[in-house]
Structure formats: C-alpha cells, structure tokens
Amino acid sequence: MATFETTARFDKDWADLDPADRARFRKAVGNFIADLETSTFRPGLRIKRVQGTDGIFEMTFAPDGRATWQYGTELQPGRPHIIWRRIGTHDILTRPPGP
C-alpha cells in the first residue's frame, strides 16, 4: 500500500471543494491506489505529466476535476509515496505551482 501526504495548498484547495467533488475524488483515489499496485493506470483517470514540469502529474476525478501529484521519497521500502499538490478545476493547471 502506498503512503501519502498533502501540501498546504492541497489542504486549502480541499477545503474549497464541494462535497460531491470530494466524494468523486475519494472514489478516484481508490482506483488510483489499486493501479499503483500494478504500475498501470486505467484510462479513466487520465494520468499524465503536467506540461512544463519534471515529475508532476495530473489525475482527472470529475469532468472538470483535476488533482496534481508527484512521487516522493519512499517512507516504507517498496511502497510508493505520493504527494498530493493541488485539487480543483482545470484552472489549477494554469496557476503557478505552490507548496
């Protein structure tokens, strides 16, 4: 099982999400975690690298719902560590990345 952490910016974004988008994200994360085990992400998550970055990825969790993330240093050997960076609408991809 992977380990996770969130940035302060993600936490602020999360607080601004409506309950329906929070539920959609939780459902998508269940699929994301299952896919991490196989190292192959299902097409519905639309995982791709954020343009102009090295190692930051986006995931789709709703029609206009995106979350950005990156791999961090493993905290437990053999288990990927995910850092959730931003969450919200597609607009999060056009703003400068924050901590």
Structure tokens at 88: 């919200």
| pLDDT class of 16 with cuts at 50, 70, 90 | very high
Summarize pLDDT for 30-57 with one digit per residue, the tens.
999 999 988 899 999 999 999 989 999 9
Summarize pLDDT for 66-87 with one digit per residue, the tens.
999 999 999 999 999 999 999 9
Domains assigned to the chain: 3-93 (3.30.2310.20)
Structure tokens at 82: 């995910």
Burial pattern 21-35, b for ≥16 Cβ within 10 A else e, equals: beebbeebbeebeee
Return d(Cα 5, Cα 85) in angstroms, integer. 9
DSSP letter at 83 equals: E
Cβ proximity of 72 and 78 under 8 Å: no
Q: What global pTM score does this model have?
A: 0.90
Return d(Cα 74, Cα 29) in angstroms, integer. 19
